Amino acid sequence: MTGSENAPPSETSDSFKLAHDHVAEGDLPEGFRFAGVTCGIKPSGKPDLSLIVSDWPVVVAGVYTQNKIVAAPVVLSRGRTPTDTIRAVVTNSGNANACTGDQGMQDALEMCDLVAEMVDCQPENVLVMSTGIIGKHLPMDCIRKGIRDAHQQVEPSLAGFIRSAEAIRTTDKNRKTVTTQVDVGQRQFRVAAMAKGAGMIAPNMATMLSCIVTDAPLTTDMAQTSLRCAAKTSFNRVSVDGHTSTNDTLLLMSSGQGTPLNPNELQIFQQALTQVAVHLAKQLVADGEGALHVMAIRVEGATDESAAETIARTVAASPLVKTAVTGSDPNWGRIVSAAGYADAEISPENTSLQICGITIYRDGAPVPFDEPALSAKMKASTEVPIVLRVGQGSGTVEYWSSDLTSSYVEFNSEYTT
């Protein structure tokens, strides 16, 4: 069992290269301006309002939380996408504007009204995202000032993009950004993306927000289909704590003009978009609150892809598996038994397991291995690969989850107090 069969595309290809941290001005798509400011929502004084403005109406697609308790900004933005008329996205952090009743919706609408006045468009041409503490009304005096300040600072620069990405963070330790250039025939397009999220992460499309901008020419149908496809194998396959947020929002904005991508070009763009999404999704897990390791779980041999995903999600969510990885304990029993109680068919006699490339369970039985050496290898790895074969079927998926540490428990036990 090598774990290499049916592997997904690598994070780079001849058509596109991912970059982060050291991106250049030329990596940003045309037609967008960015800003991030401090307006006073967060007691820490850190940036808390982000604004993205397009120079002309752009195509926007969205994928949103499947939680039945939904924040006002999700209701508003979900009702406006997909579309080809958006001029701006405003995001506040530090307050989720969730479970805030009619006042919450009025506040979200006012945010759109304020941005529309600044940008000179209709309020319906503005989307809003919010993230932070649930159940508290927005401090609208702060937000009104923040929107005015952000509009004065929007610029089509890398500095503006970074400030915008910083302003959507809450408990994130690190900024999450990625850019790439996509070559399709004689044409070249750019993609730039930002995300936030470190806790309450278990998207199904957490507290997760992400905005991806591109100058590739897409129709609304192309954008929505491409975004759903990208989300399926990225943000839908990560977990920090198994908790789907009230505010999860993933947006794709296309400023591209001219002839829309043809089917072959769209396929290349789709691959690039998916890898951007995977890169961001893995950053969410790596930044999981208190996390020491990323569990890179690969399930092979399931009856189909859906079954493989069910098994991977079950293993990823197990507190016993998570804590075993925290303690660098190659406890095959926890992983194999988690697969066994997942709501999917497995073949016990054909079940095998590798951790960090070392086979420790094969065809339904443990095999001898150097436990101290493997434990040391796990401890030294920020990403712990777990490859689980559960039969002879065609179902294969990759899934990423953080481990579970005492720091996570301490942080979240004191989050609102």
Give catalytic residues, as residue numbers.
Answer: 207
Residue 79 carries which side chain, given as an amino acid letter? Answer: G
Give the total residue count for the chain. Answer: 417
Q: Tell me how crowded residue 270 is: count the other CB atoms within 10 A of its CB.
A: 18
157, two tokens: 């620069």
Place of tokens 């491409």: 226
SS3 334: helix
Is residue 235 within 8 Å of residue 191, measured between CB atoms? no
Is residue 164 within 8 Å of residue 52, measured between CB atoms? yes
* Alpha carbon separation from 105 to 77, 98, 234, 254 (Å, rounded): 11, 9, 30, 27
Q: Omega of the bond prior to 123 within 30 degrees of 0, cis?
A: no
Phi, psi of 92 (to 5 degrees): -115, 145
Query: What is the DSSP pairing of strand 49-64 with strand 249-254?
Result: antiparallel
Is residue 183 within 8 Å of residue 213, measured between CB atoms? no
**Which residues make Cβ contacts (< 8 Å) with residue 301, sequence separation at least 6?**
347, 350, 389, 390, 391, 392, 393, 395, 396
**270/253 Cα distance (integer angstroms):** 14
**362/352 Cα distance (integer angstroms):** 4
Beta bridge partners of 34: 52, 155
